[in-house]
Amino acid sequence: MIALSVAAVLAVFLLYTSLAGGGTPSVSPSELATKTGEVALAGRVVGTPTGDPHGAGMRFVLVDIHQPGHRVTVLYTGSVPDMFRRGRDLVVTGTQRADGVFVSKPGTMITKCPSKYQAADTPA
Amino acid sequence: MAEFGRAALLLTFGLAAYALVGGGYAAWRGRRRLAHSARNALIASFFSTLVAALVLVAGFLRDDFSLAYVAGHSSRALPTPYKLSAFWGGQEGSLLLWLLVLTGYSALAVWLARKRARDLVVWVTPVLAGIALGFTWLLVAVSSPFDVIAAPADGSGLNPSLQNPYMVVHPVALYLGYVGLAVPFAFAMGALLSGRTDERWIVATRRWTIVAWTALGIGQLLGAHWAYVEVGWGGYYAWDPVENAALMPWLAATAFLHSVMIQEKRGMLRVWNVTLVSLAFCLSLFGTFLTRSGVVTSIHSFTKSSIGPWFLGFIVVAVVFAVGMIWLRLPQLRTTAKLESLVSREAAFLYNNLLLVALCLTILWGTAWPMVSEAVRGETMVVGRPYFDFFLRIFGLPLLLLMGIGPLVAWRRASLRGLTRTFAWPAAVALATGVVLIALGAGSSTPGLVAYTFSAFVLATIVHEFARGTSARRALTGEPVPTAFGRLIGRNRRRYGGYVVHASIVLLAIGIAGSSAYDSVTEGRLTRGQSLSVGGYTLTYRSLGEREAANATEVRALLDVRRGGKDLGTIQAGKNAYSVEQQVSNEVGIRTDYLTGEDLFVIAEQVDDNGAVFFRIFVKPLVNLIWLAGLVFLLGSVITLWPDAREERRLATREARAGARSDTPATT
Amino acid sequence: MSLWILLAAALAVAIVVVVALPFLREPAPVSDTLHELDPAERRLLEAEEARDRALAALQELEADHRAKRISDEDYRAVVGSLRRDAAEALRALDRLGRGGTSDAEAKID
């Protein structure tokens, strides 16, 4: 009987994941060129953000967290988490436009809690 | 002073090693004095860890910035309570807290059980010592809180989002829960190691499990409340890996709490129980690992973290050990007792277990998926809310219903006729509630409506149980209602405490359903005098103010609130800018309607230079039931835990008669 | 500085004493063997556990029946087998040399 239930659970699970597509790929700015469609872009904020996230959109630049090199300009609309600032790591979901600008889905920015459990590496 | 702290931890290391090796040898070879000595060592390890902890506390209170950890998490301007909570604000300190709670629990567990379960304790000691050894190793060799630097003039300060009362209590409560699961695990392993595969390890650890489970539950609610009022994004649970890290062991522990009742009553499910408690403990290690190493957000940060690989190693060791012991003792664990009917309380508990474990495993899969997909497919896939919400509904709603059915079904086998009679009245109440709710507009969300209807059913059964029990008691004793009610609960603490806990879960379900399925939101940019309307409320932006506080600049927008033409006062929302930490935090405005449990939730997302503010406003019905549920949960747990003198006497007599003599030498 | 070294040393000494205590108290004991339950004692304990379980199940059934949680027919269907289990548990204890008390037997009747 237990085996049956386990099988039932597995069936529900597999059904769902096959329908839902199993998640969104998480990429870094350097990997962005290789992907099409909706992705979760993970990177570090450099430079100063401009624009209004609740108006035409906020523009800022993301680089790879571990090898700063490739830069991507992000156009973001929606709520901006408190942690957002230059030097912070974040993830934003969206698609890359033809002109190279990464346009986000509104409100999909997530910042990582910095220095909460590791020694502060970015000076204040 | 740092050297003293380091020395204390080295002593803990030595004690844990001794308790592990010596205790293990003593248990294997049956050496009485060595076993006693190992037990002393385990108890002493608490005191040496306490010394180390006190050294760190002194470092914070004295602003001793020569300690790198203090410099990294505190500052002169930090209020004293937060200087204390900064102890667990970083990796090294939280590991020390883990160890402190572990050694404390271990000392208490082996001390309390030393007479009652002697042949278990000799094996429990080395198991607990082994776990302590692992954490002490990390603290001594990998991630020490006593690293010394050239003292800067002032520290870096504590992350502002940690500077509130919730973050003082929440981590401690969670740790009391996570670490508490080590005790039933150790007793289970002790039972397997000693070959005593009967129910004694369960009886010995019943209260430990409930305490750990309650602490973990309250810790999570505190975390959710913190997210709601402090982080202020408009919700209380985001299915973040760190949140799931605490939920998974809690779900496994809930399943375990129920299935041990089957073992106590029918002697069944022995293999399942040891497996479940091992799962709960390993998940709690995994949960600590997730929150420490940031592994899930990116596999790259995993290799950067110093303790990630070590933690993974511990989990592997624990899993291999548990599986190995269960495999070894499989013949002794098997019983002849069988499930007699698919419609019985045993079966209901079994369904409960299956649903809880299924939910737990799907959350585990979703949380670990980024790591797995990276390793297998080379690309990191992240899973979003819809995945978790879907499975919460699929497994959670039947669980809700089962809470009402389980306690009322007979053991062994129940007839369908008996069932229809028992459930007729609560089912009628549920259906009536459903109809009324549809008329009130709740049909807009099917899961919400189902949750409400099931909740009505469960509440009806609980009320019915209390009423029936009280009147049965009165029929026997003729007591007045309050006395009968009180004595009813007093004589059956486990049953009625359990009902109170179930009621709290129902309240939780109603609160969650109301605030997520039936909430409203609006947003917009307002200049002074402009208004926004949502959920029946109208808010008008009046003014903007700025204030200097102890360590922050506070900006607040003031709004008037009206509903249905009535003036409801004002509400403020804004931001705090922290000078030392160079960070801005959201300060939301919440207006609670205590009559309806509804919250008006205002976020000042952005303050423009010209004084215009972009607001995001929520109306969350019934959300305060969630916090109320926490209080009821605590009450129910306390009732279940309350010692029962008669039960204690009975167990003690049984132990004495079976010939468990004292530690003095046997006369042979 | 030297204060801390003194404290550390004191702590270490205290710990060593605590750990060595069992050996210091009994340098030459009659027996150093850990008392473990021998098979007979183990059987007795398990028999007592079985008896307690059976009696508790019976009591719970009675309580449920009185509180009308269980219908008369459900009660009648189960009470027979529970009584048999309890009687068997008591008989097993009898065989091992410890009888059930008279009021335990009365509970079955």
Convert the pLDDT of each residue in B443-499 to its tens digit.
888 899 999 999 999 999 999 989 888 888 888 888 888 888 888 888 888 889 999
Chain B residues 506-535 with CB within 8 Å of chain A: 523, 525
pLDDT band, very low/low/confident/very high, at B304 (cuts 50, 70, 90): low
Measured distance CA(B571)–CA(B553) in Å, rounded = 19
The answer, yes or no, to whether residue B34 has pLDDT greater than 70, is yes
What pLDDT does A122 receive?
A: 27
Collect all residues of chain B within an 8 Å Cβ-Cβ radius of residue C8: 3-4, 7-8
Contact A113, B292 (CB under 8 A): no
3-state secondary structure B348-415: HHHHHHHHHHHHHHHHHHHHHHHHHHHHHHCCEEECCHHHHHHHHHHHHHHHHHHHHHHHHCCCCCCC
Measured distance CA(B9)–CA(B146) in Å, rounded = 10
The answer, yes or no, to whether residue B321 has pLDDT greater than 90, is yes
What pLDDT does A69 receive?
A: 76
Portion of chain B with pLDDT greater than 70, in percent: 96
**Interface with B, mutate which of A10, A118, A122 (most B CBs under 10 A):** A118
Element (H or E) spanning B583, and its range?
strand B583-587
Own/partner long-range contacts of B294-298 (Cβ < 8 Å, ≥24 apart):
B294/A112, B294/A117, B294/A118, B295/B371, B296/B241, B296/B367, B296/B368, B296/B370, B296/B371, B297/A42, B297/A91, B297/A112, B297/B241, B297/B370, B298/A26, B298/A42, B298/A65, B298/B370, B298/B380
B626-652 per-position pLDDT tens digit: 999 999 999 999 999 988 777 777 777
Half-sphere exposure of B162 (CA within 13 A, CB side): 25
Measured distance CA(B371)–CA(B173) in Å, rounded = 28
CA end-to-end span of chain B: 53
The radius of gyration of chain A from alpha carbons, rounded to an integer in Å, stands at 18
Q: Which stretch of B427-436, B552-561, C37-46 has the lowest confidence by average pLDDT?
A: C37-46
The radius of gyration of chain C from alpha carbons, rounded to an integer in Å, stands at 27
Phi and psi dihedrals of B67, rounded to 5?
-80, 120
Chain B residues 33-72 with CB within 8 Å of chain A: 68, 72
Of B441, B484, B446, B443, the closest CA to residue B466 belongs to B484
Half-sphere exposure of C13 (CA within 13 A, CB side): 6
What pLDDT does B153 receive?
A: 85
Chain B: residue nearest A31 by CA?
Answer: B379
Picking from B51, B122, B410, the nearest residue to C34 by CB comes out as: B122
Q: Test B668 with C31 for CB contact under 8 angstroms.
A: yes
List the structure tokens of B168.
């003082």
The answer, yes or no, to whether residue A117 has pLDDT greater than 70, is no
DSSP summary character for residue B231: I
Collect all residues of chain B within an 8 Å Cβ-Cβ radius of residue A117: 90-91, 94, 291-292, 294
List the structure tokens of B362.
């799907």
What pLDDT does B557 receive?
A: 93
Q: Which stretch of B32-36, B258-262, B411-415 has the lowest confidence by average pLDDT?
A: B411-415
A50-106 per-position pLDDT tens digit: 988 888 889 999 988 777 778 889 999 988 887 788 888 888 889 888 888 899 988
Collect all residues of chain A within an 8 Å Cβ-Cβ radius of residue B89: 116
Collect all residues of chain B within an 8 Å Cβ-Cβ radius of residue A109: none
User: Hey, which chains touch C, using 3+ CB pairs under 8 Å?
Assistant: B
Of C99, C83, C101, the closest CA to residue C47 belongs to C99
What pLDDT does A20 receive?
A: 59
Is B585 near chain A, with CB under 8 Å? Answer: yes
Rank B265-274, B326-335, B587-596 by mean pLDDT and report only the highest. Answer: B587-596
**What is the distance of C-alpha B354 from the center of its chain?**
20
Q: Test C31 with B32 for CB contact under 8 angstroms.
A: yes
Q: Test B411 with C7 for CB contact under 8 angstroms.
A: no
pLDDT band, very low/low/confident/very high, at C109 (cuts 50, 70, 90): very low
Are chains B and A touching, using the cut-off of 8 Å on CB pairs and a minimum of 3 such pairs?
Answer: yes
Measured distance CA(A97)–CA(A100) in Å, rounded = 5
The answer, yes or no, to whether residue B418 has pLDDT greater than 50, is yes
What is the layout of strands, in order, in the sheet containing B531-534? Answer: B531-534, B537-548, B552-563, B566-578, B583-587
**What is the distance of C-alpha C60 from the center of its chain?**
20
State mean pLDDT over B494-521. 93
Collect all residues of chain A within an 8 Å Cβ-Cβ radius of residue B351: 5
Query: b/e per residue, B535-552, with b = 16+ CB within 10 A?
Result: bebbbbbeebeeeeeebb
Of B141, B666, A57, the closest CA to residue C30 belongs to B666
- What value does the mean pLDDT of chain B take? 88
Q: Which stretch of B181-195, B384-398, B403-417, B505-519 has the lowest confidence by average pLDDT?
A: B403-417
What pLDDT does C59 receive?
A: 84
Contact A51, A70 (CB under 8 A): no
Is C2 near chain B, with CB under 8 Å? Answer: no
pLDDT band, very low/low/confident/very high, at B664 (cuts 50, 70, 90): very low
Q: Which stretch of B17-21, B96-100, B148-152, B288-292 has the lowest confidence by average pLDDT?
A: B288-292
Instruction: Kindly list the residues of chain A whose beta carbon comes within 8 Å of any beta carbon in chain B.
Output: 1-2, 5-6, 9, 12-13, 16-17, 20, 22-27, 40, 42, 52-55, 65-66, 79-83, 85, 91, 112-120, 124
List the structure tokens of B259.
């299935």
Q: Strands A89-96 and A57-63: what pairing?
A: unpaired
Could you tell me which residues come within 8 angstroms of residue B77 by beta carbon, excluding any fewer than 6 positions away? B157, B550, B551, B580
Of C40, C5, C56, C42, the closest CA to residue B2 belongs to C5
Element (H or E) spanning B602, and its range?
strand B598-607
Measured distance CA(B223)–CA(A111) in Å, rounded = 18
Beta strand segments in B502-565, E: 520-526, 531-534, 537-548, 552-563
Contact A54, B605 (CB under 8 A): yes
Q: Test C78 with B411 for CB contact under 8 angstroms.
A: yes
List the structure tokens of B433.
């509630």
What pLDDT does B628 receive?
A: 95
Q: What is the maximum alpha-carbon separation in chain B? A: 94
Contact A78, B604 (CB under 8 A): no
Q: Test C67 with B469 for CB contact under 8 angstroms.
A: yes
Is B464 near chain C, with CB under 8 Å? Answer: no
**Interface with A, mutate which of B360, B606, B607 (most A CBs under 10 A):** B606
Picking from B31, B408, B654, the nearest residue to C48 by CB comes out as: B654
A25-55 per-position pLDDT tens digit: 888 888 888 777 888 888 888 888 998 888 8
Query: Could you tell me how many CB contacts below 8 A there are between chain B and chain C?
Result: 145
B322-366 per-position pLDDT tens digit: 999 999 998 888 877 777 788 888 889 989 999 999 999 989 988
Collect all residues of chain A within an 8 Å Cβ-Cβ radius of residue B301: 65
Matching residue, tokens 């007045």:
B480
CA dist B378 → A27, A31, B370, B371, B374 (Å): 11, 12, 10, 10, 4
Phi and psi dihedrals of B571, rounded to 5?
-140, 145
Which has more confidence, B666 or A110?
A: A110
**What is the distance of C-alpha B145 from the center of its chain?**
26
What pLDDT does B667 receive?
A: 35
Q: Is the sign of the CA dihedral C93, C95, C97, C99 positive or negative?
A: positive
Matching residue, tokens 């969650």:
B512
Which has more confidence, B160 or B528?
A: B528
Picking from A23, A117, A118, the nearest residue to B382 by CB comes out as: A23
What pLDDT does B379 receive?
A: 73
Picking from A40, A66, A82, the nearest residue to B585 by CB comes out as: A82
What pLDDT does B550 receive?
A: 75
Collect all residues of chain B within an 8 Å Cβ-Cβ radius of residue C57: 265, 411
State mean pLDDT over B267-287. 91
